[in-house]
Amino acid sequence: MDKVITEIEKLREEIRYHNHRYYSLDDPEISDAEYDRLFKRLLDLEQRHPELATPESPTKMVGARPQETFSEVKHRLPMLSLGNSFSDQDIRDFDTRIKRFLGDDSPVDYTVEPKIDGLAVELVYENGSLTVASTRGDGFTGENVTRNIKTILTIPLTLTQKKNTLPPPDLLEVRGEVYMELEAFEKLNQERVKRDLPPFANPRNAAAGSLRQLDPKITARRPLNMFCYGIGTISELSSDTHHELMTLLQQWGLRVNRPYIRICNTLTEVIDYCRHLEEIRAQFFFEIDGAVIKVNRLDLQARLGQKSRSPRWSMAFKFKPTQETTTIIRIDVQVGRTGALTPVAHLKPVELGGVVVRRATLHNQEEIDKKDIREGDLVIVQRAGDVIPEIVKAIKSKRTGKEKRFAMPSQCPVCGSGVVKREGEVVVRCPNPNCPAQVKGSFKHFVSKGAMNIDGLGDKIIAQLIRKRLIEEEADLYRLSFDNLITLDKIKERSANNLLKAIENSKKTTLAKFIYALGIRHVGEYVAAILADHFGDIELLGKATEEELIAIEGIGPQIVESITAYFEDRHNRDHINRLIQVGIELEAPSPPPTSPAAGKTFVITGTLSSMKRSEAKEVITRNGGRMASYVGGNTDYLIAGESPGSKLRKAKDSGVSILSEDEFLKLLGKDHE
Ligand code: IVH
């Protein structure tokens, strides 16, 4: 029992501390997921030992006391928090509890809507005018942020009445979430880093930090926005359901996330829509960290009432976290094909959005210094969509003194050459083109899908071939024999033959793929395709002048410089000749003139159901189009598959035509297969 008491006390103390970091300082030290785990553990213990529960426990309280710097506002009705659910079963249990409480087994209608990750605010409108705005604070008393709230342009200072609709009530307390859009958040953080200020950990902290500024002029410069999701006191209530109420708020000029508020008549619909919102979460301009399920009928809400810190009629369904807390075991340096040295953090494995993450990129020394990240640090890692995981920040208060600062080595960790840093670059490079790491990197690039596409030639085989001196340059791959391959570890007769076949097949390729395979700096697949289209012949490309190159749309000065430098070097020209001599045959792409895809640039976001990305790229290229990774000025079409990412937003913003998978297939003259 003593052990339980100690654990409970420790948990309460920890949670109070983290509440303070989160609510008062807007600078959390642990991920939301970690906080949720601590909270759930405490809830479980208190439920199992009700004799140890006390009203002062953080499980019975909401948020934190307001800061003294703001005047206080007492909420007429307490601003509550929500219970959390994490699984389908939790949602079913919620429904069972509701029916049990109502003493009625008949179906209950719910609404489900996105849970916006910002901070809760209450706006008081008296006789239609905004008089007071406050933060939630501890639920009973919040901070008076009226002057700051009034700088948010989308919050009406007076309520309006649309034709043939109900007038606003004399007294209306509206509740909602103030948040910062993702793009604005990233911009704000970039500016802060430039000015040597610590970046905000996430948009929520940025929003909270911006709203709780003593000088409203600062708030005014921060792009904040608000969605209303409920009410406190209202002088006359003229709707029967939550959904109707949201429509009314909208009619009075308040911002409501209505397109995404869905009425669900069955539990299956509730669960499906929660999952759907999780799938499309990356499409929102702002962060959503879950879905909120509410009993739709207001009379039932009133009957259900509330527990100490949350209503019985509503619950949050929390999405899988994309941020987590973990430890950096050590920091290693990786040498890439271009010789760039990249520091990589090896992490204590942690699950992020359903994937176990073990490593995160630290980009470069400058980034490490700015964020003051050390080996042994407890850190917050994050993974957004298919982006490489990265470290958001180190939790400095958890340092024991044993953490080690990291410094980029002055010598290449692979070949020992002294590293160099070009002027104006933050990247440190190994200058030795014969560095094994660079050689291996070049081979890996050469055989990769978008380049020569040699299936089955993985990392380990390449490393062995280099070690055994069977390959020194790319052309050597085409000189490999069965006898050479069979000497390698883990290679049996069949795989040796398959590999030889794959190498042979790769000889027939397109000019674009070949240019890309050469690994010229700044020449990615997209640029390679432009060059292939323009020159149609590798020799002509080799002879192109700077003037000729710069005149091509999509080719900038950096690319021009790197292409001319590449072809000026005799070794590179010899290298190409040797590749042609060993039998590489280049077919210049001649797009079928009839295809509407010819000459167009496509970008894909999300998953396609009928083909892999690499296959889509093949089809596009075969039809004379190009595929790019990012939405830019040259993009003609964005193909939006299942669970599209932020590219969809970018495309919408830049007026790029958006194609569904079906529309894409139709455009290529293929019907759904
Ligand atoms: S309804 C009684 N709807 O989530 C509280 N809350 O974790 C009723 N939140 O305190 C809240 N989006 O700050 C509701 N669509 C939404 C929401 C939402 C975000 C926040 C809100 C609440 C917190 C609970």
Mutate to test the pocket of ligand 1, among 22, 82, 258 (most ligand atoms within 8 A of CB): 82
Longest CA pairwise span in the chain (Å): 90
Query: Residue 371 has what pLDDT?
Result: 87
Rounded distance from Cα 177 to ligand 1 centre (Å): 7
Structure tokens at 208: 């909270």
CB distance 81 to ligand 1 below 6 Å: yes
Mutate to test the pocket of ligand 1, among 86, 113, 229, 242 (most ligand atoms within 8 A of CB): 229
Query: Residue 208 has what pLDDT?
Result: 94
Tell me how far apart the alpha carbons of residues 513 and 446 are, in angstroms, rounded to a whole number: 9
Summary count for the chain: helices (H), strands (E): 24, 24
Query: Residue 386 has what pLDDT?
Result: 58
Query: Residue 32 has what pLDDT?
Result: 87
Query: Residue 673 has what pLDDT?
Result: 42
- Portions of the chain given CATH number 3.30.470.30: 72-318
Closest CA to 230 of 328, 116, 395: 116
Query: Residue 672 has what pLDDT?
Result: 43
Rounded distance from Cα 327 to ligand 1 centre (Å): 31
* Residue of the CA atom closest to atom 16 of ligand 1: 115
Consecutive 10-residue runs of the chain (673 residues): their mean pLDDT?
91 90 84 90 93 88 74 95 95 96 92 97 97 95 95 93 90 97 89 83 92 89 95 94 96 95 95 93 90 98 94 96 93 93 95 87 90 94 78 91 95 95 88 90 94 92 93 94 92 93 95 95 90 91 92 88 94 94 82 74 88 83 80 86 82 87 84 45
Tell me how far apart the alpha carbons of residues 82 and 416 are, in angstroms, rounded to a whole number: 57
Atom of ligand 1 nearest to the CA of 84: 7
Query: Residue 593 has what pLDDT?
Result: 57
Q: Give a three-class secondary structure readout of 31-100.
A: CHHHHHHHHHHHHHHHHHCHHHCCCCCHHHCCCCCCCCCCCEEECCCCCCCCEEECCHHHHHHHHHHHHH
- Portions of the chain given CATH number 1.10.150.20: 436-587
Alpha-carbon torsion (391, 393, 398, 400), positive or negative:
positive
Atom of ligand 1 nearest to the CA of 117: 19
- Portions of the chain given CATH number 3.40.50.10190: 601-671
To the query of whether residue 115 is one of the catalytic residues in this protein, the response is yes
CB distance 203 to ligand 1 below 6 Å: no
Tell me how far apart the alpha carbons of residues 500 and 368 are, in angstroms, rounded to a whole number: 44
* Residue of the CA atom closest to atom 18 of ligand 1: 115
* Residue of the CA atom closest to atom 22 of ligand 1: 81
How many Cα atoms sit within 13 Å of 573 on the Cβ side? 11
Amino acid at 332: D
Assigned superfamily of 436-587: 5' to 3' exonuclease, C-terminal subdomain (1.10.150.20)
- Whether 518 and 576 have beta carbons less than 8 Å apart is answered as yes
Q: Among 2.40.50.140, 3.40.50.150, 3.30.1300.30, 2.102.10.10, what is the CATH number of 323-409? A: 2.40.50.140
Amino acid at 83: G
Atom of ligand 1 nearest to the CA of 80: 2
Rounded distance from Cα 15 to ligand 1 centre (Å): 20
Q: Which CATH class is domain 2-60?
A: mainly alpha
Atom of ligand 1 nearest to the CA of 120: 13
Query: Residue 559 has what pLDDT?
Result: 93
CATH 3.40.50.1820 fits 601-671, yes or no: no
CB within 8 A of 501, min separation 6: which ones? none
Span 72-318: which CATH code? 3.30.470.30
